[in-house]
Every structure is written in structure tokens, then in C-alpha cells.
Structure 1
């Protein structure tokens, strides 16, 4: 059903492209306004500086994008993306040491952010009624009688105005839309924030043409140490040696509230002080292809448009423009795709794009965003360096800081040995289930208790805690293999 003549999307990054796919069945014309000149291939551009860091595409995001653009995952893999099972293909250094390899419920597609966006652009350009206008800066919104009616733009040819029956803000963390709405008479939306002072730094490498025999793994993950005693600051880092297309990897180190290396020499030196020598040794076997890229704009930020008494009609928000997350938790693209798919579902049921439609969509989106938001808060509220409206009282922060690592370790350990816990943990990680839903499941609780008792008795089914200074074990400890 067509709901109007023209829909306009502000921004042509992943969120905006997903929004275009959601709008296309319901409007005669969809216009995507993008400030940058978009590359034909998988290349970095000014408007997406975070593309130089690793990006996980969670299962919920893969599924949502696949609903919007059929065969997206097939095209991504055909373009070089890697379909892997992390529990088998990743060497994981947890708090107690290297984890054992075993099959699990979770698979993932690994690729760079620039490849994800290139494949998305290709899919959008297949839609006959969608046009992407490049080198086009959005300068404001036009409104009338409580409704957004279009956007002002600036192109190399000059200033102009675009009329629209519906507008989607996909302009990211720095979106100016809330300010334009205030200038038009709406109140400032409540903004919930929590910045845990996360900084991360990355460098790209070409893998060797022939991998060493000991590299059974494709992905290397090093978690922060749970040790509360004296140790190098680098042991607090979250580290990834992240595989992408083209026989390449992104070496990435990040931390909460610590200084991170900014130069290539400092990056290489710092890598030698993380919890295992394998990270630096792997880098030494690869050929660097980039400088060091550092990002500090990582705070959680939720603009609560759903709490406006009369939110603007004819306007929706997807991606970081409404809710941005600490990138460590890999929720951004998947949450944006989920919002776009939700928008398509609401458009399909809509008779009119009136105030009732706006209210219904914002309520449903609030529930959708609440799942990743609660996961981000559960971790980031435990850091003393965190600031923002959601900063926890000191007693609660101390409780979270003391409990989060042991609780996470309990869940990860139980997931190694219990298929039901593993299945639900994979759902939580992939935003298919909230942490609260998982922990209210009687079968999951029974699995956690059983694992805790067996661990206390030293009766592990799957070994763990292998020496961090040694190579991660290659043995497959999957139950069927063990039998």
C-alpha cells in the first residue's frame, strides 16, 4: 500500500540504507540525502570514521537486513565476508585463561564495515524507486501544523528544499534534528546518557599468504583481566584480532577510562604488554597496511522522543540518531536494522501517517531499543570513570563492578557445558532476547546452578583455563567429538 508520494532519508550510512529499504514498498519515491560522495567499492569515507574499527553483524541484524534486502547475507559472503562459528573459529582468552574449542549455537558473518555498506548500497540501488543524492547536506526541516513536511538541503549547485510526506532521521550521533525541532516549537527531548570513557584504537594488516600451522583460529579475542591485584594497564584492555575479507585482519585494542596508543610505534609496543604474547606475535607475521585509528566518541546516548507529549508527525528515527551505544557491544548496526524493519512492519499496517501511527511506532521502538540499552548499562554502570544521567549510585556501581565479571564468567562457563544455556546466551548476545528474559528462564537457572555445583566439585565436562602464555588449544571438545 502506498502511503505517500515522497519519503526522504537523512543520511546514507547503514542505518539510512536500511531505512530506504523499509520505505521503498510504501512510497512512490524514496530520496536518500547523503553529505559524502559515496565510493563505488568498499572504501572508507569521511562520514563514517568508525569504519576503521571492527564491526560485528549480530544475528538479529543479519536477519533484519535479510528481511529488508533478500539475499543480503549471500551477497556479503560472495563479496568476501566470512561465515564462521566463533566457538570453533575464535581463540578466546577469558578471565581464567584460554577457553576450549567446541561447537555452539552461534555463527557470525565477519567483514569490514565498509564491505557491509557497499553491499547495502548495491541492494538499495536495485530498488527502482530509490534515489541516493550524494554531496547533499541537510540544513534544516520544514514543519506545518505539528508535522514535518520536508527538508532544506545544500548541494554544490546551491540551496533548495525537498517536500516530503515522511522523513527518517539517520544522521547518526551528531544529528541536528532535535535542535531543528526545538526551533520549530517542540520541547527538547529528554536525553539519557552514560559515557564509560571507552577509547579504542585499530590498525589494519594483511595476513600472510600461508598461515602458520598453529593458527587453527581465525579470530583472536582477549578479555580484560579479572585480577584485582597489581598488573600492567594493558591487561585491562579488550583486544581483537578480527578477520575480514581479502585475507586481512583488524588489530584492535580498547579500554574503559585508560589512555590508548596513537602512533604506530606505541601501538606495536603496547600490543606486547597485553595478557598473551600471541597478539603481538600474530601482528609480527602480518604486513601493516594502515596507520593507527583512534576513536573516543563512544558514549551511550538515547534521545527519548517517545516521551514527548506530542511528537512530530511524519518523522521517524533509526540508528544512532535516536540511540547510540558503546561500540564495544557491537549493537549499532543490528539495532539500526531492527528499527528499520520495525518501521516497515508499522508502515505495512498503517492507514494514515498520523499522530497515532507516530505514537505506536515510538512505543514499539522503545521496547526494541530497551534490550541493547539494558545490556550496555549492565556493564558500563560498573565503571568509576562513567559519567552521565545514568551514572549509578556508588553503592550500586561497586556492586555491579564486583558482580559483573563473576556473573559473566558463570554464564560463559555454563554455556560451554549446557546446550540450553548456550542457546539462550547466544540469543542475548545477538539481541534476540533480553538478559532479564534469559535469567527468568527456569531451565537456564537450573543449568547455571548445576554448572556452579559441578565446578565446585571439580567435575567440568569441558576443560577451561588453559595457560594464557601458551598457544590456545586446538582440540575440539564438542560432546559428540569427545564421545
Structure 2
């Protein structure tokens, strides 16, 4: 039988989503969390990455909305912002600032701590869930480890100086990157869990700021979000031109200024952070940071390697155990896939539990197969870029010729997609679906209509027949002109005489 008690290890986004699902199917759901959880949107030791920007992709938004109806509405009511990046973000790509126009993609912007607070509020509305704080999980209770029918039957824990154990019909590991569950299983008799790894040596650094009062903001600040991509210039340039930089809006008229790079040392002191922001290749970035009031120290992280623990490859997977979130698959945070992937895994769990009374071997194998299919989508995206670096390490490092090919093609292809998206709605929608994990990279790569749209744009570009101007000077403020619906044939070009175009 399915049983009465489910235990969730960890009370972050993955654990809360899992608890929300399990509350529909178990009499009691117990969440064990090491930290004392703050009553409001505040940082805590167990989520150091909360000090950096977090995107909740559309697939993740929908998954969380299914698990916790009304969650997005509550997040916006608490200060989150529903924005359209193509209209509300100034985006500096290789050739300069991109034109501003409507697109198919929207996003909800907020801090990670606010997302978790809203999720905790939703979890506490469910009477079946109990969150126990200040509890450190120290091991698993298992029987028949590594044999047919081997099962996880509960967990061992410590609260202060006292130890205990908790029986469970289902255990969900949501302990994150540092989870010890795989090691505990090995000790109990299961084979070592195979791992896929790739570390592209990404480091990023962030600082929190208060925005100036609305009446004192520069007139050029039509944007809410500012993004500067790394230079593609192979000549001599400041190291800061290699940064991927974000001026990321969050609730409470605040922003997180974040800079990151592959294979470079990043500033961690206030003085060097501010100096680096001034040297980012688009001058508007440093000026924006200088116009705001800093409210935090500089936060730096190097925990950015990609790691996939392949539980699906174990011949006899442990019954009674499900792993979701970073505990099974952690991504380079640059790609903003973690929360959404965790929510998608929780939704798979919900679909399989519906109408099912027995959690047998077939159930766990089916979950692992469906989860693997879901994780393939973000994993392929992460590999497409991170495998291009010669200094990357791990099991997924590819041959030099493939690294060279990826390094030479990834940015030009990305540039071509961005350019074609301005004038081809199909290309724009398809890329937005891939970015939001609604389509796989493989689906995009094998879509003839998608590549036809890019090829057609490149031909028009060569013939001087493209419609929407681009490449606005990155040494000037990003232009606010709205090019939505602009067609040269209709003669409806917006007035953009003040927008300086870089040749």
C-alpha cells in the first residue's frame, strides 16, 4: 500500500513543492529542515544562493501554480513583478543594445527569499504538512540494500543534543547539492550512484541595492532589468568585458547587481566590485549601480558545477525514496534552471501518485524514467555552452574538436537567433519555449521552420532588407523606442533619431 507518512528532507523550493504534492496523498507529511525558518523573506544559512538573482521560468511557474493554486498571484501581491523582458529589459548583445519590442515571453521577478516565503505560506495552509525546524538529517533507515525489494524505511536525525529516527512510507531527498543520501545508500548496500559532471569554473558575485526614488531616477531608465552579455571580441579588452552582468529588479524597489564569468576570478570586496561594474562594456551598467544605494556586502559563489546523480541507472533502485531538485541534478546557476526543474519533478511525482495505491518497483522506475526525460531538457542546454571551455573538468568534457566547434558556433548561432526573433514571431516563440524548458534543444535543432526563419533573416540582412534596426551604441543609454509592429513597407517607423546605431 502507499502508506500514511511521507518525510521530506529539506524545506527549500524543491522540498516545499514535494510537500505540497504529497499532502494530497498521505495522511501526514513531515518536512525536516536544518535551519530555523524566518517568518518573512529573509536569508538563511541553508540557502546561500538566495543572495543572487533567481529566475522562475515559465514551465516552473506553471508547475508551482498546479501544486499551489494562487501562488503567482500571492507572489505578485507580496511585491513580485510580472514583466515582459523584451519590453522591460535593456539587453546588450554582441553588436550593442537590442531594439525594444513586444514578445511572447513574460516572467515574474522577485528575490529567492520572497519566493520561498510565499511557498512556505502556501505549505502552512495545508493541514497534513508539519515543518520541523532545527533538525539535521544524519542517515537513512534501510532494509535489503541493493537487493530486489531493498527499501528506505525512514530517516535518522538529530535535534540539538538529541537523536532519533522517523519511520516513513516515502522519503523525498531535497537536501540540495550537498546531499549525503547517495553515500548513505552506498553504505547500506546499494551500488554507487553514477554521476555526470561538468564544471566550467563559473564564479559570480552579487550585491543588493535600493533604487533611487522614482522621481529621482534618470529619464533614460525606462527599463527595469539590465543585461550585458560577454563580449565576443577576441582582441585586447578589459577582463570585465567577459562578464555576464545583470541589474536584476526585485520587490521593494530594489535590485541585485550581479556579475559572473567562466574561468575568471571575480571581485569579492566592495571597492573591487564597484570598480568592476564601472568597467563592464556597456557604460549604463556601472552608472546604474552608482545611482543606487548599496544595502549589503558583496556575495560570491563558486558552487556552480553541473552534477547529475543518475539514480535511473541503478539496476535495483531503492524503494521508498525519491530525489528532486539539486540533490539529483544541479545546474550551472547562470542558466536559471534549478527551481523550475525541481518543480517539474514534483509535478511528475503528483501525476504518478494520482490514483495509485501501491508504491512498488514499477512506480519508482517509472518516476525515474519520466524524471530523466524532464531533466534531459535543461541538462542539454547547460552542456551546450559549458562544454565549450578548455578549462572545464568532469565526466562530460568532450574532445577538443567538439569544444572548438561549440566555442566557435554557440555565440554566432545565439546572435542569429536573437536577430531573427525580431522579425519572425515563430523563431521568437520557439526560442522562448526552449529557454523556458517547454521545448528541448533537440526539438529546436530539428525544426525546419525555425531554421528557415533564421536563414531568411540572414538573406534579408545581406540584401539590406531587414526591418527592425539593431546594434545601438553600448556606450550610450539603451534606447527606449518601441519597435513593436514596425514594418518599413507600412512606413510606420517610430521616431528613433536619438538612438545612436553602431555600424
Q: The TM-score by the shorter chain falls in which range?
A: over 0.9
Match of 2:419 in 1: 413
Structure 1 counterpart of 2:201, from 197, 200, 204: 197
Q: Tell me, yes or no, if structure 1 residue 313 matches structure 2 residue 324.
A: no
Query: Structure 1 segments of 4 or more deviating over 3 A?
Result: 480-483
Structure 1 counterpart of 2:159, from 155, 158, 171: 155
Match of 1:30 in 2: 29
User: Which whole-Å CA distance do the structure 1 matches of 2:330 and 2:248 have between them?
Assistant: 22
Identify unmatched segments of 5+ residues in structure 1. Answer: none
- Per-residue CA shift, 1:44-86, capped at 9, x if unaligned? 0000000000000100010000000000000000000010000
Q: Tell me, yes or no, if structure 1 residue 362 matches structure 2 residue 372.
A: no
Residues 256-295 of structure 1 correspond to what in structure 2 (within 5 A)?
A: 256-295=262-301
Residues 116-265 of structure 1 correspond to what in structure 2 (within 5 A)?
A: 116-145=115-144, 146-156=150-160, 158-210=162-214, 211-265=217-271
Match of 2:63 in 1: 64
- Per-residue CA shift, 1:124-160, capped at 9, x if unaligned? 0000100000000001000123010000010126101
- Per-residue CA shift, 1:189-238, capped at 9, x if unaligned? 11000000000000000000122211000000000011111111110000
Instruction: Report deviation, 1:277.
Output: 1.2
Partner secondary structure for residue 149 of structure 1: strand
Match of 2:449 in 1: 443
Q: How many residues were matched structurally?
A: 482
User: Which whole-Å CA distance do the structure 2 matches of 1:384 and 1:350 have between them?
Assistant: 48
TM-score by length of 2: 0.95
Instruction: Report deviation, 1:280.
Output: 1.1
Partner secondary structure for residue 232 of structure 2: coil
User: Which whole-Å CA distance do the structure 1 matches of 2:414 and 2:313 have between them?
Assistant: 33
Instruction: Report deviation, 1:442.
Output: 2.1
Partner secondary structure for residue 168 of structure 1: strand
Identify unmatched segments of 5+ residues in structure 2. Answer: 145-149, 494-503
Instruction: Decide whether the 8 Å contact of 2:468 with 2:486 is kept in 1.
Output: no
Instruction: Report deviation, 1:351.
Output: 3.1
Task: Output the aligned Cα RMSD.
Answer: 1.0
- Per-residue CA shift, 1:227-283, capped at 9, x if unaligned? 111111110000000000000000000000001001000000111111111111111
User: Which whole-Å CA distance do the structure 1 matches of 2:116 and 2:277 have between them?
Assistant: 30
Instruction: Report deviation, 1:321.
Output: 0.2
User: Which whole-Å CA distance do the structure 1 matches of 2:268 and 2:391 have between them?
Assistant: 21
TM-score by length of 1: 0.99
User: Which whole-Å CA distance do the structure 1 matches of 2:108 and 2:247 have between them?
Assistant: 15
User: Which whole-Å CA distance do the structure 2 matches of 1:312 and 1:458 have between them?
Assistant: 61
Match of 2:3 in 1: 4
